[in-house]
A and B are shown apart, each in its own frame.
Chain A
Amino acid sequence: MNFLVCISKTPDTTAKISFSSDLKTFNSAGVQYILNPYDEWYALVKAIELKEQLGGNVTICNVGPLDNEQIIRKGLAIGADDAVRIDCEPLSSMQVAFQIAQYAKSKSFDMILLGKETIDYNGSEVGAMLAEYLDLPFVSYGSKLDMNGNVATIERDIEGGTEVLEVATPFVVSAAKGMAEQRIPNMRGIMMAKSKALEVVAPAPFEDLAVVDHYDLPKEKSSVKMIDPENMQELVRLLHEEAKAI
């Protein structure tokens, strides 16, 4: 089976977030970027597990500038076979999905995997958009996937529970916690990653329909009110009268 895993980079959660003085752009200088955890821990590792089980090839795909080759190499070190980078700086989920679809159209992937969302913008839309461009079924928030021939049985997270479904290849699936166990790249993987193929593809023309106009910083929290641990009636009173929460 041939697997395509879409990966993206995202600021580390602990990164300090700031914007330009006109609030139009995000200050990326000095920000530590990582491979988006859902893409890495769940989507990529699941594809590698399936390949180990069933044979085939795992390709990773990133839409982004040259800098992103660092996270692409990490994906190769974890165990992907080859990679493609579509060379543009996307401003929207739709742009990402569109570019990947242009690339994937000419290939025959049996399964396209990606994380359930990125941890910076939490859009959670690329998978569905990609599936729509390719006219494929899409399963979101998969937390378990087993193959039987060309039919996958997938458990997906829904509000307050899970849904179990079946779908035949080819399809697109987004991965949530539970799908696979995180793998740490070892020295051999890191060395081998250096010689794996990384193809660079020019983007197709695309016009964005929704882009960030400006950013704001969140409202400052007023400082915490400490309550005497002996006096929980006081906390309940404040929650009722002041916070109007109960």
Chain B
Amino acid sequence: MSVLVYIEHSKGHFKKTAFEAVTYASKIAQQMGTECIALVLGASDHLSDLGNYGANKILNCSASIFSNFDSQVYSNSIAKVANDNGANLIILANSSNGKTLAGRLSVKLKAGSISGANKLPTISGNSMIVSKSVFSGKGVANYEIKSAIKIISLMGNSIKPEQVANNATVESIVIPTATPKITVKSVKTEEGTVPLPEAELVVSAGRGMKGPENWGIIEDLASAMGATTACSRPVADAHWRPHHEHVGQTGVAIRPNLYIAIGISGAIQHLAGVNNSKTIVVINKDPEAPFFKAADYGVCGDLFEIVPRLTQAIKDFKQSH
């Protein structure tokens, strides 16, 4: 028996989602009275860091084939490690690659799989109840996984990474792999900013901004806070902002600690992607804007006056703390 957590990295560096996954896996492993094994595919100089979050054993295959994401090669490798280590639970991040692997692994290992879990499962005997948000945040579905092997993909920002005493062993392993059928040609990611799905603080703006030339005040607020910027769909459709900033039903779904919505009306399709945020602040000049109903804090007035004032207040706060 063991809990296997598959760890994503970017050129050997772990992101917060990796530490969240280890914390989550290690808490379940403790509850099940078994060990938590972290698996890293591809080279990394930071392997032992995973022990800080509760991994008992860290397995690493540093073969260069893993610099090319092919879900067949990856899932075959993870399945082999799962079998070799008697894993009865596999945890992955609910990311583009994580969900892809979860689906393949579930068929390969005849394992019931739930993606997008947002809290620790309830375990009773061999069965496990896993919860996720469904119907655009209008319901919660609690699934029972009945199979002997189970798979859970963990939604970002669902658990806080928790540091523990590190007593992990690091072991390098060799995994036989077949030739990939997918050849990755290039990977482009925004440098220097936290990607939206991982961001804890998000400053988002909509059509109330009137035009792309006005985004300076949004960027100032975001940089004062250390937040990532997002936008509503019409804003991305009009190319005022890049497509990867679009949040909502047809864009990215996020659950940051803080979501500040500026000049966004709060249409249900927008809320669908953001209403799991822990705290929502809405700045809108229309007191009837639907977004106020989904907000924790509201400021009613002209964003062009309020946003610079808020930026200043944040700067003052940062100086005194």
Contact = CB atoms under 8 A, between A and B. Distances in A.
Interface of A: 11, 13-15, 17, 19, 26, 37-38, 92-94, 97, 119-129, 131-133, 137-141, 143, 153, 156-168, 171, 177-178, 208-218, 221-222, 224-227, 229-230, 232-233, 235-240, 243, 245-246
Interface in B217-257: 225, 243-244, 246, 249-251, 253, 257
B312 A209 contact: no
Contact of A165 (B75, B185, B296): B185
Contacts of A243: 258, 278-279, 296-297
Contacts of B144: 210-213
B189 A224 contact: no
A115 to B, nearest CB: 10
A178 B136 contact: no
B101 interface: yes
Interface stretch (B34-42, B111-119, B169-177): B111-119
Contacts of A143: 243
B246 A121 contact: no
Given A137-B182, A233-B313, A246-B258, A226 B115 contact: no
Interface stretch (B43-51, B65-73, B82-90, B205-213): B65-73
Contact of B299 (A165, A213, A229, A233): A229
A226 B289 CA distance: 13
Contacts of B294: 221
Nearest to A228: B299
The listed residue with most A CB atoms (<10 A of its CB), out of B268, B281, B293, is B281
Contacts of A209: 106, 110-113, 145-147
B147 to A, nearest CB: 4
A210 B143 CA distance: 6
Contacts of B201: 245-246
Given A127-B103, A159-B195, A224-B282, A210 B112 contact: yes
Given A94-B113, A232-B310, A239 B258 contact: yes
A175 B99 CA distance: 14
Contacts of B225: 246
A131 B146 CA distance: 23
Say what secondary structure dominates the interface of chain B.
mixed
A239 B281 contact: yes
| A interface majority secondary structure | mixed
B207 to A, nearest CB: 18
Contact of B317 (A15, A210, A240): A240
A160 B190 contact: yes
Contacts of A141: 96
B123 interface: no
Contact of B139 (A37, A137, A218, A238): A218
A157 B99 contact: no
B297 A232 contact: no
A132 B108 contact: yes
B116 to A, nearest CB: 6
Q: Which 3 pairs from chain A and chain B are nearest by CB?
A: A128-B103, A160-B195, A210-B112
Contact of B297 (A119, A124, A238): A238
Contacts of A11: 135
Given A123-B116, A137-B71, A209-B111, 5 more contacts: A211-B146, A215-B142, A216-B140, A225-B297, A230-B309
A132 B104 CA distance: 5
Given A128-B99, A233-B313, A168 B181 contact: yes
B138 interface: yes
Contact of A245 (B114, B198, B278): B278
Contacts of A167: 181-183
Contacts of B316: 233, 236
16 contacts: A19-B139, A119-B272, A124-B99, A124-B115, A128-B102, A138-B72, A139-B182, A153-B185, A158-B96, A178-B243, A208-B146, A209-B110, A209-B112, A229-B299, A233-B317, A246-B201
Given A167-B182, A243-B258, A216 B142 contact: yes
Contact of A161 (B244, B250, B258): B244
A43 to B, nearest CB: 14
A224 B299 contact: no
A200 to B, nearest CB: 25
Contacts of B295: 221, 224
Nearest to B155: A122
A128 B78 CA distance: 15
Interface in B287-308: 292-302, 305-306
A224 B296 contact: yes
B104 A131 contact: yes
A68 B182 CA distance: 35
A218 B133 contact: yes
Contacts of A160: 189-190, 193-198, 244
B107 A133 contact: yes
B103 A93 contact: yes
B138 A218 contact: yes
Contacts of B141: 121, 212, 215
A104 to B, nearest CB: 14
A21 to B, nearest CB: 15
B222 to A, nearest CB: 13
